[in-house]
């Protein structure tokens, strides 16, 4: 009898673990959709359908050793000591809370000041904590560290691999000061060798130690470097970065570093420049994360310089396939599980909706045709120019609208001021969240940087002063 109960429990557990959409993901996704404002509940919306959104850490290592204009961190950040014990405690607390509220799988950024100021062992431990909580971590860096640091992060004391795969987002732009070898860059092009060197470290890592990587290239855009976005896009597209992400500057963070009229840079201006650099249109309306005033995103196949978007909003067969696949399989995830569980999930999904296999195949055929056909793909693969590329613009808001908007959201009121009301709408549809287990809140990154960082860093100043008293 007992054996029968044990077997029944095991089978029940197996059924649950191999369900195509994890039940907790389903619940988190449904709650996300229910909480979204109506204006973003459009057919192309991915939040609440296939993703809960991005997550990030805060107050875990505020210090940075470069200076940027602008800088999203509060004026106090550089007075806080980097302390591995504190980082690990905070990352664990924040990730556990995200796991409990946002479900078993999400992408999360290990972000604060500069991640490479963390001891490599602490950095590795933080990534492990994030993974243990179902988060796919991405380390955010200025990219000015050496291969020795990367090796110390990825390999343990015995030289054994700690990870099969790592993700980094490296920020390179001419607004940054203090990079070794480019202390005050005069142009974006001057940074190309540094962009290339950073990416090369990861190619070496794969070749020498079999550790794969996902790399994003980040760039802040102000009126002074807007015209150079096309050039950066062109250069970075030829490097092994998977994602090209651009952030129009906003008046948030350290106000001593607000130098220009950032408001002049609109999300459309940046996208236009990216398209100019890519040498073609980059259709983005097929999918959307959150509010289109915050985010622009497109992903597809790049073959020998030709970008073939995954979902072309102008092609009815593409949008019909998107709607069908989201309806049937939204919330299914592919990482953070054994191959056996993943295979079982895919098989169960295919068995439940057999017609979707043909839909996926036809979608694949259309992408291949856009990329120039099977022969072009074959040549691109042989020439090592075949890759999945993603383009992103993330448009942070100014603190002057975020602060009043957040205050009103907390009071359950809507502003009469159109600019503040717009900020309220965007915060309500935010796709980049930070976790506050102490208050039970998830807050948008705009709110974190505009409203909460300063107080948080003042508290951290007392907890982790730069000078440690020895007597």
Structure tokens given for 265: 């840079």
Smallest gap from residue 448 Cβ to ligand SF4 (A): 8
Backbone angles phi and psi of 467, in degrees to 5:
-95, 125
Minimum distance from residue 121 beta carbon to ligand SF4 (Å): 31
Burial of 37 (0-12, 13-18, 19+ CB in 10 A): middle
Q: CA 427 to CA 178: how far, in whole Å?
A: 33
CB of 148 to ligand SF4, least distance (A): 34
In the complex with ligand SF4, the residue whose CB is nearer, 229 or 423, is 423
Q: Are 15 and 9 in contact (CB under 8 A)?
A: no
Which region, left, alpha or beta, applies to residue 103 given φ > 0 means left and ψ of -120 to 50 means alpha? left
Q: Which is nearer to ligand SF4, 196 or 454 (CB)?
A: 454
Please answer whether residues 219 and 229 qualify as being in contact, where contact means their C-beta atoms are separated by less than 8 angstroms: yes
The least CB distance from residue 41 to ligand SF4, in Å, is: 16
Residue whose CB is less far from ligand SF4, 37 or 330 = 37
Nearer to ligand SF4 among residue 134 and residue 428 (C-beta)? 428
Q: Where do we find the tokens 């005069």?
A: 186
**Positions that interact with ligand SF4 (CB under 6 A):** 290, 294-295, 394-397, 426-427, 430-432, 444-446
Least distance (Å) from ligand SF4 to the CB of residue 414? 16
Q: Give the alpha-carbon dihedral of 423, 225, 63, 405, to 10 degrees.
A: -10
Nearer to ligand SF4 by Cβ, of 237 and 431: the residue is 431
- Write down the least CB distance from residue 404 to ligand SF4, Å: 14
**Which CB, 172 or 432, lies closer to ligand SF4?**
432
CB-neighbour burial class of residue 447 (10 A; exposed 0-12, middle 13-18, buried 19+) = buried
CA dist list (Å): 60 to 72, 123, 139, 432: 15, 11, 13, 17
Nearest distance from C-beta of residue 183 to ligand SF4, angstroms: 30
Q: Is the CB of residue 448 less than 8 Å from the CB of residue 397?
A: no
Of the two residues 311 and 392, which places its CB atom closer to ligand SF4 in the complex? 392
């Amino acid at each position: 009898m007992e054996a029968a109960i044990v077997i029944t429990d095991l089978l029940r557990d197996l059924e649950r673990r191999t369900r195509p959409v994890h039940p907790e993901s389903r619940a988190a996704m449904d709650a996300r959709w229910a909480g979204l404002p109506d204006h973003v509940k459009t057919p192309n919306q991915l939040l609440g359908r296939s993703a809960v959104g991005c997550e990030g850490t805060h107050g875990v290592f505020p210090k940075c050793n470069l200076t940027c204009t602008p800088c999203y961190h509060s004026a106090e950040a550089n007075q806080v000591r980097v302390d591995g014990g504190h980082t690990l405690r905070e990352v664990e607390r924040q990730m556990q809370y995200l796991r409990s509220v946002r479900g078993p799988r999400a992408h999360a950024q290990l972000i604060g000041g500069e991640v490479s100021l963390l001891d490599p062992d602490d950095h590795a431990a933080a990534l492990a904590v994030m993974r243990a909580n179902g988060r796919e971590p991405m380390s955010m860096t200025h990219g000015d560290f050496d291969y020795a640091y990367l090796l110390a992060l990825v390999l343990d004391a015995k030289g054994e691999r700690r990870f099969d795969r790592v993700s980094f987002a490296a920020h390179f732009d001419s607004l940054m000061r203090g990079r070794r070898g480019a202390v005050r860059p005069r142009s974006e092009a001057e940074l190309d060798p540094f962009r290339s060197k950073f990416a090369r470290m990861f190619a070496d890592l794969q070749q020498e130690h079999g550790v794969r990587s996902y790399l994003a290239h980040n760039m802040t855009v102000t009126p002074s470097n807007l015209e150079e976005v096309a050039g950066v896009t062109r250069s970075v597209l030829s490097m092994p970065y998977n994602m090209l992400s651009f952030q129009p500057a906003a008046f948030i963070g350290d106000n001593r570093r607000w130098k220009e009229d950032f408001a002049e840079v609109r999300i459309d201006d940046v996208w236009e420049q990216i398209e100019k650099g890519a040498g073609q249109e980059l259709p983005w309306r097929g999918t959307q994360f959150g509010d289109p005033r915050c985010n622009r995103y497109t992903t597809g196949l790049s073959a020998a310089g030709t970008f073939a978007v995954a979902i072309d909003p102008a092609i009815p067969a593409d949008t019909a396939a998107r709607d069908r696949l989201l309806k049937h399989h939204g919330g299914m995830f592919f990482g953070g599980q054994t191959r056996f569980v993943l295979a079982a999930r895919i098989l169960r999904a295919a068995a439940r909706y057999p017609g979707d296999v043909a839909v996926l195949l036809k979608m694949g055929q259309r992408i291949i045709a856009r990329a120039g056909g099977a022969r072009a793909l074959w040549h691109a693969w042989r020439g090592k120019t075949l890759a999945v590329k993603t383009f992103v613009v993330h448009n942070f808001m100014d603190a002057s609208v975020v602060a009043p908007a957040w205050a009103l959201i907390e009071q359950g009121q809507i502003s009469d001021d159109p600019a503040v009301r717009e900020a309220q709408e965007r915060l309500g549809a935010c796709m980049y969240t930070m976790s506050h287990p102490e208050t039970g809140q998830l807050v948008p990154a705009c709110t974190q940087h505009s409203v909460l960082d300063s107080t948080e860093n003042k508290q951290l100043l007392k907890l982790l002063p730069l000078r440690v008293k020895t007597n």
